[in-house]
Structure formats: structure tokens, C-alpha cells
């Protein structure tokens, strides 16, 4: 197959969940013998750096970036509010990217065009005009669900109505897009079911995030048992969850277990959190090697209450054999079983109980982590995911 992969950010270096998901798909499709061309948007926050990318992958993917300034513009945001356009989406449209697509599609033929995330859908009109390829939306998140959850948790009574309006606006757009693509590769079964629940006739499959389990270090971490969270703090659900953890869970845990250890790290860590001082607490910003950071610690905590889609860090932690304690929303989309290969905590009391139980009996973490590793090998191996994706694409060709 000849596949054009359009990405809303550079897939390399794979520094966050979205970029890792795109990179693993590119690599997997090329390994499976398919021709893949990658064009990505580069932004003030995300630049394309291929210096450490495997040379053969750079050559085979022909990866290139087109700069788009996606920085928040108050005037444009207000204009979109008045015209009922969705600024979250429209700011990813660029004449430069549009022109690049026109030139490429006018000179090359593709069987499929994969739109990585909802943010690449503004280019559907151009694609339809210049290509006969099947268009598939790879949905990393149900974006409107994230916005709805953020709105429901908004404490500022002035911001809450505005957030709800944005969520409704985004939902309308997201549902309209379903009728403009030939298929949707949802990141999780729960997202697939939500799409289907809206009554669309567009074919939808669950194509999860995947990893190569052999690339993850499963050596047990040394030192005292340490809980950790690693995630970009410029993503609002992460910041909300971490602040809740520090405000509601951590003080209660250390009162019962004074020797507990909690390590937090992530890109754009807020200054006030960096300056926190508490016995057993360590807060860092961006780390040079995320996988090394995770490997050196014991138990992952994921206190998310407004996320959607699928948490890549959980999959990677499980691939390392880490025990993960998560909210049900944080673990949403992952086919894990509470008490077997993951531990779920719905509120402050349950988080404290789960963390306290592990401190009293570390063997719990070993048992859950080993089962988590096995789950990744069975369900989230790249080879299986690529096989499922190709089967879905072939079904669209026949349809």
C-alpha cells in the first residue's frame, strides 16, 4: 500500500504520547513492507529533529515538516467564537501546508491518507479535490469528551459556561467529520463505542497505541519504593491531576507512612510545584530520558479526571513491568483488569489505600507489574496492531 501520514506534530523525537503513537505506526507500517510518506506540522513548541532518527526510517518515510504557528491568538479565537468555527481546530490550518499537499497529491498517488488526530481534518477538502485516496481519521482522543470533563470540573463560575460552549462546539465538529472520512481508527474500544453511539455509518475500528515490548527495560528498580508520575504539564488534565494528588492524597499518605517517596516530572512543570518542599517529595521539569526515569522508579500513579483516549505512558509503564495505580478515566481504553494487571482508585480515599497497601506489602506491585507486562505482550504489541490496521484498511478498499 502507498500511505500518506499527515501528523499534527513531529512524530520524532517521540517525546509525548501523540508523537510516540505516530512514530510507532510509521515504523510498523514500513517494517511491514508498505510505502509511507510522512508530512508533519512543526510549531513553536514542536520542531522536527531527525538527527537521532534511524537513517533508513528518515529515507523510507521521506519525512518533512511544514511550519505552522499554532500559538494562541486572542483576536482569531474571538473571531471563531463569533463565526461558530472551532479555534482549537482552525489554528492548525495553514496555506503553506495546503500548498504542500496540493503539490504532493498532484504528483503522487496514494491508496490511503491517515489524518493523525482531529487537528488535521481541516485539510480534508484539499485532499478530496486532489486525491482519490481513502481518507482515514486516526483518532487519538475524543477531543470533545476531554473538553466536557474539563468543563464539568471547572471551579471558576465565569469560565465554566465558556468551557461548556467550547465542548459543545467541538462535539458538533467532531461528529460532522465522521461523515467526511472513509473510516476512523479509534485509539481504544471505548472511543470506538462512543463514536458508534452517535449513529454514524462510517466504518470504525479500534486500533490501539502499540509498542515493541522487547525495547523496554524490565530490570527491577533499586532503592526505596518510589511512586512516580511523568507527563507533560502543559496538558491541562495532567496539571489538574497532579495538583489534586499533591493537595488531597500526598498529605494523607505521608501522615500514615512518613517514609513514603513521590517523584514528579514533566515538560513545563509549573514553577510553584517545582518550589514545593516536603520530605520524600521530588519535583523535576522535563527529563532527558523519559524511559530511564520510569525504569528507575517503582510504581506509576495516574490521577487523571478529565482525560480521554488512551494513556501512552501507562502502556509504556506496563511494558516495563511497572505496577500502575490510576483513576478509571486515566485507564480508560486499556483492556486491563482491576486488581490483576492494574490498580484503580476512584477518589482520594482509594488512592491512599492502594498506595498504602503497596508500602506495607511491596510484593503487590511485583505481582501486578508482571501481569501488566504480559498484557502488553498479548494485546499491545506493534505487530498485532499493524496487522489489525491493515485488515481495516483492506476492508475499506473492498467497501
Domains of the chain and CATH, by start: 2-210+381-398 (3.40.50.2000), 214-379 (3.40.50.2000)
Q: What DSSP string describes 65-119?
A: EEE------HHHHHHHHHHT--HHHHTT--HHHHHHHHHHHHH---SEEEEESGG
Interval 284-297: pLDDT, tens: 999 989 999 999 99
Whole-number Å distance between alpha carbons of 83 and 169: 11
Confidence class for position 150, pLDDT limits 50, 70, 90: low
Share of the chain above pLDDT 70, in %: 90
Helices (H), 108-197: 124-130, 143-153, 159-178, 189-197
Q: How confident is the model at residue 74, as a pLDDT?
A: 47
Whole-number Å distance between alpha carbons of 232 and 265: 8
Cell numbers representing residue 325 in the block: 495505580
155-166 b/e with 16+ CB inside 10 Å = b? eeeeeeeebbeb
Rounded mean pLDDT, 132-157: 74
Share of the chain above pLDDT 90, in %: 68
- On the question of pLDDT at 80 being above 50, the answer is no
- What is the residue-averaged pLDDT of the chain? 89
Cell numbers representing residue 57 in the block: 526510517
Q: Mean pLDDT lowest for which of 42-51, 108-117, 146-155, 217-226?
A: 146-155
Q: Of 110, 247, 249, 121, which Cα lies nearest the Cα of 173?
A: 121
Confidence class for position 83, pLDDT limits 50, 70, 90: very low
Rounded mean pLDDT, 209-222: 93
- On the question of pLDDT at 195 being above 90, the answer is no
Looking from the CA of 114 toward its CB, the CA atoms found within 13 Å total: 29
Residue 162 sits at φ, ψ, to 5 deg, of -65, -45
Confidence class for position 184, pLDDT limits 50, 70, 90: very high
DSSP state of 368: H
Who has greater pLDDT, 58 or 142? 58
CA angle (147, 153, 157) in 5-degree steps: 100
Burial of 64 (0-12, 13-18, 19+ CB in 10 A): middle
pTM of the model: 0.81
Q: How confident is the model at residue 76, as a pLDDT?
A: 47
Confidence class for position 331, pLDDT limits 50, 70, 90: very high
Q: How confident is the model at residue 17, as a pLDDT?
A: 79
Q: How confident is the model at residue 61, as a pLDDT?
A: 96
- On the question of pLDDT at 298 being above 90, the answer is yes
Interval 226-283: pLDDT, tens: 999 999 898 888 999 999 999 999 999 999 999 999 999 999 999 999 999 988 999 9
Q: Using the structure block, give the residue that is written with the C-alpha cell 496538558.
A: 235
Residues with Cβ within 8 Å of residue 292, at least 6 apart in sequence: none
Q: Assess contact for 233 and 246: CB atoms under 8 A.
A: no
Q: How far is CA 330 from CA 6, 21, 195, 333, in A?
A: 27, 17, 19, 9
| Residues paired with 112 in a beta bridge | 3, 134
Q: Mean pLDDT lowest for which of 76-85, 192-201, 221-230, 380-389?
A: 76-85
Confidence class for position 148, pLDDT limits 50, 70, 90: low
- On the question of pLDDT at 177 being above 60, the answer is yes
Helix or strand or coil: residue 299?
Answer: strand
Q: Of 268, 381, 369, which Cα lies nearest the Cα of 322?
A: 369
Q: Of 380, 306, 307, which Cα lies nearest the Cα of 341?
A: 380
Q: How far apart are the first and last CA of the chain?
A: 16
Residues with Cβ within 8 Å of residue 194, at least 6 apart in sequence: 142, 145
- On the question of pLDDT at 32 being above 80, the answer is yes
Q: How confident is the model at residue 82, as a pLDDT?
A: 42
- On the question of pLDDT at 84 being above 60, the answer is no
Which run of H or of E encompasses 50?
none
Q: How confident is the model at residue 73, as a pLDDT?
A: 57
Residues with Cβ within 8 Å of residue 2, at least 6 apart in sequence: 34, 35, 37, 108, 109, 110, 111, 112
Amino acid at each position: 500500500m502507498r500511505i500518506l501520514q499527515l501528523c499534527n506534530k513531529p512524530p520524532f523525537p517521540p517525546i509525548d504520547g501523540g508523537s510516540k503513537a505516530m512514530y510507532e505506526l510509521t515504523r510498523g507500517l514500513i517494517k511491514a513492507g508498505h510505502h509511507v510518506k510522512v508530512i508533519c506540522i512543526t510549531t513553536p513548541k514542536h520542531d522536527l529533529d531527525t538527527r537521532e532518527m534511524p537513517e533508513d526510517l528518515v529515507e523510507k518515510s521521506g519525512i518533512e515538516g511544514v511550519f505552522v504557528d499554532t500559538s494562541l491568538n486572542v483576536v482569531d479565537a474571538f473571531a471563531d467564537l463569533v463565526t461558530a468555527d472551532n479555534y482549537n481546530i482552525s489554528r492548525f490550518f495553514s496555506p503553506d501546508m495546503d500548498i504542500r499537499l496540493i503539490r504532493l497529491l498532484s504528483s503522487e498517488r496514494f491508496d490511503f491518507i491517515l489524518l493523525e488526530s482531529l487537528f488535521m481534518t481541516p485539510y480534508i477538502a484539499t485532499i478530496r479535490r486532489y486525491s482519490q485516496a481513502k481518507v482515514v481519521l486516526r483518532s487519538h482522543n475524543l477531543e470533545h469528551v476531554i473538553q466536557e470533563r474539563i468543563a464539568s470540573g471547572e471551579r471558576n463560575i465565569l469560565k465554566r459556561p465558556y468551557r461548556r460552549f467550547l465542548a459543545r462546539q467541538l462535539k458538533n465538529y467532531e461528529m460532522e467529520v465522521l461523515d467526511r472520512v472513509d473510516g476512523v481508527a479509534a485509539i481504544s474500544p471505548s472511543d470506538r463505542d462512543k463514536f458508534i453511539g452517535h449513529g454514524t455509518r462510517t466504518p470504525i475500528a479500534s486500533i490501539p497505541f502499540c509498542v515493541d515490548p522487547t525495547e523496554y527495560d524490565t530490570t527491577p528498580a533499586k532503592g526505596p519504593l518510589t511512586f512516580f508520575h511523568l507527563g507533560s504539564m502543559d496538558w491541562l488534565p495532567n496539571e489538574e491531576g497532579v495538583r489534586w494528588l499533591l493537595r488531597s492524597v500526598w498529605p494523607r499518605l505521608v501522615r500514615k507512612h512518613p517514609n513514603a517517596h513521590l517523584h514528579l516530572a514533566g515538560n513545563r512543570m509549573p514553577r510553584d510545584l517545582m518550589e514545593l518542599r516536603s520530605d520524600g517529595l521530588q519535583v523535576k521539569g522535563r527529563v532527558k530520558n523519559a524511559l530511564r526515569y520510569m525504569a528507575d522508579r517503582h510504581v506509576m500513579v495516574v490521577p487523571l479526571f478529565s482525560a480521554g483516549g488512551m494513556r501512552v505512558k501507562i502502556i509504556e509503564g506496563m511494558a516495563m513491568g511497572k505496577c500502575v495505580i490510576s483513576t478509571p478515566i486515566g485507564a480508560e481504553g486499556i483492556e486491563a483488569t482491576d486488581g490483576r494487571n492494574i490498580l484503580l482508585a476512584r477518589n482520594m480515599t482509594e488512592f491512599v489505600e492502594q498506595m498504602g497497601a503497596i508500602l506495607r506489602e511491596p510484593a503487590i506491585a511485583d505481582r501486578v507489574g508482571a501481569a501488566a507486562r504480559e498484557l502488553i505482550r498479548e494485546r499491545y504489541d506493534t505487530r498485532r496492531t499493524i496487522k489489525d490496521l491493515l485488515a481495516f484498511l483492506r476492508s475499506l478498499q473492498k467497501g
